[in-house]
Structure 1
Amino acid sequence: MQRLRVYARIVRVLLVVLFGLGMASLFSLYERLHLSTPDDRRQRWSQLFMARLARALPFKVTVIGNRPQQPMLWVSNHVSWTDIPLLGMLAPMSFLSKAEVRQWPVAGWLALKAGTLFIRRGGGDSQLLRQQIARHLQRACPVLIFPEGTTTDGRSLRTFHGRLLASAIDTATPVQPVAVRYLRGGKPDPIAPFVGDDDLLSHLLRLFAHDCGEVQIHLLAPIQSAGQERAALAFNAQLAIHTALFGAQPVAQPQRRAKAA
């Protein structure tokens, strides 16, 4: 019975992937014909794909809070690759992802065609990335980033990198903090986290072999970015998410950088 359930879930995900490949192929055709595909259109189609993928995953999702009514820079803690479809179904948006994802079979190509922005660790391309995110925000196209820079097991929160939030300050775009919590039996889910040297296929099969887990997505109060320093903005977002996940425990305040004379 369990094996049949796994097979049924795999078939459902494969059908969604085929749907995504069809959309991505259409975007490729537009590019070959030199037809423009606006970012907001890619984001709307991406949301449709993410919503279908999220429904195919073995999770019961609860969304707490109000969805933003204006374009924002979404900032979330990062536990698993499943964060992307679960958050991507909530609103049209683009994503910031590590460059390694671009090399993933199928998923990397889908991410590229959906308009994902890729960042290389230690690649020295932070200024270019800042400009790309700012360009999206100026076009009223929301962007989602994971400022921890990596995934965790969901039991802790790493320091947020302020440089990834600089574009929000440049464009005076509010920041939308999001706290994602995975639970299984009322306790932190040990299966959902995607960390270390785990591979996508093995992780997906482990998810499908178990009963549905629970995901709580907290859409927290937006944070105004205008006039803020990026370290302070990152700290405020981290503090809001930390409080939603773990309560009002102390978080280290970043040191204010001295201005050059």
Structure 2
Amino acid sequence: MKRLRLYARLLRLAAVLGAGLLLASGVALLQRLSRRDLAALRQRLSRAYLQRLNGALPFRVSVHGELPSQPMLWVSNHVSWTDIPLLGMLAPLTFLSKAEVRHWPLAGWLAQQAGTLFIRRGTGDSALLQRRMGECLRHGRAVLIFPEGTTTDGRALRTFHGRLLGSAIDTGTPVQPVAIRYARDGEVDHRVAPFIGDDDLVSHLLRLFAEDDLQVRIELLAPLRSQGLERAELARQAQFAVHAALFGAVAQQALAA
């Protein structure tokens, strides 16, 4: 029974990925023919597609808080590659992802066609990325980043790095903190959902799809003003907000001590 469920889920995912391939190919062709920047269209289509993709993932999702009424720089804790479709279904977003994702079979090409910005660790290209993110924000396109710089198992929060938050400060764009939590039977799931260490995409998919549905709680926290702040202070405020949402006010006070 468990094996049949796994196969059924994989077939459904394959069908959704196939639809995504056709959609992305159509948008790429349209851009080539029109010779126009279709970034805004890509965002809207990506959101619609990610809503469909999430229907093929073994999650039961609850969303708390209000969606922002204006484009913001979204900052979230990071547990898995699934954070991207889960958050991307909520609003049109431009994603920032590690460069390795670009080389993932099919998924990397789809991410590139969706307008994802890729960052190579240790190459000093954060200044270029900050400018590109600033262009997105100035043109009214929201951006999502994971300021921890890597994934965790969901039981702790790493330091939020402020280097990419400069795009929000430079453009006067508010920051939208987001807390995402994967759980099973009311407890943080640190075994199945996290995509960490030497995990590869195929192994993670098989592990994820073989198990019962996970509960995912997404909290959209109060937006933060960026004007007049230093990057480090803005990162600290965002980290405190996400930490409190994930682990409670008492843990937040301990973090501040």
Q: TM-score range by the shorter chain?
A: over 0.9
Partners of 1:60 and 1:214 within 8 A in 2: yes
Match of 1:56, SS state, is coil
Partner of 1:106: 106
Deviation (angstroms), 1:4: 1.3
The superposition leaves residues 169-197 of structure 1 with CA deviations (integer Å, 9 ceiling, x where unpaired) of: 00000000000000011111120000011
What is the alpha-carbon root mean square deviation over aligned residues?
Answer: 1.1
1:86 maps onto 2:86 in alignment: yes
CA distance in 2: counterparts of 1:33 and 1:7, whole angstroms: 39
Partner of 1:145: 145
Instruction: Output the TM-score relative to the length of structure 1.
Output: 0.95
Deviation (angstroms), 1:134: 0.2
Cα pair distance change 1:20/1:37, threshold 3 Å: farther
CA distance in 1: counterparts of 2:132 and 2:187, whole angstroms: 39
Deviation (angstroms), 1:252: 5.1
Match of 1:123, SS state, is coil
Partner of 1:4: 4
1:218 maps onto 2:223 in alignment: no
Partners of 2:9 and 2:56 within 8 A in 1: yes
The amino acid of 1:215's aligned partner reads: V
The superposition leaves residues 205-253 of structure 1 with CA deviations (integer Å, 9 ceiling, x where unpaired) of: 1111111010000000000101110000000000000000011222258
Partner of 1:168: 168
1:229 maps onto 2:233 in alignment: no
Partners of 2:75 and 2:177 within 8 A in 1: yes
The amino acid of 1:17's aligned partner reads: L
The amino acid of 1:251's aligned partner reads: L
Deviation (angstroms), 1:102: 0.7
Partner of 2:52: 52
Structure 2: tracts of 5 or more residues without a match: none
Deviation (angstroms), 1:159: 0.4
CA distance in 2: counterparts of 1:18 and 1:232, whole angstroms: 43
1:200 maps onto 2:201 in alignment: yes
Partner of 1:74: 74
CA distance in 1: counterparts of 2:97 and 2:23, whole angstroms: 20
Match of 1:179, SS state, is strand
Structure 1: tracts of 5 or more residues without a match: 254-261
CA distance in 1: counterparts of 2:224 and 2:162, whole angstroms: 14
Partner of 2:255: 251
The superposition leaves residues 26-57 of structure 1 with CA deviations (integer Å, 9 ceiling, x where unpaired) of: 12213432532421110000001111111110
Partner of 1:158: 158
Partner of 1:22: 22
Partner of 1:13: 13
Partner of 1:240: 241
Partners of 2:174 and 2:225 within 8 A in 1: yes
CA distance in 1: counterparts of 2:120 and 2:31, whole angstroms: 25
Report the number of matched residues.
253
1:188 maps onto 2:204 in alignment: no
Partner of 1:258: none
Match of 1:238, SS state, is helix
- Identical-pair percentage: 64
The amino acid of 2:58's aligned partner reads: P
The amino acid of 2:212's aligned partner reads: D
Partners of 1:30 and 1:37 within 8 A in 2: no
Partner of 1:117: 117
CA distance in 2: counterparts of 1:88 and 1:32, whole angstroms: 25
Partners of 2:31 and 2:38 within 8 A in 1: no
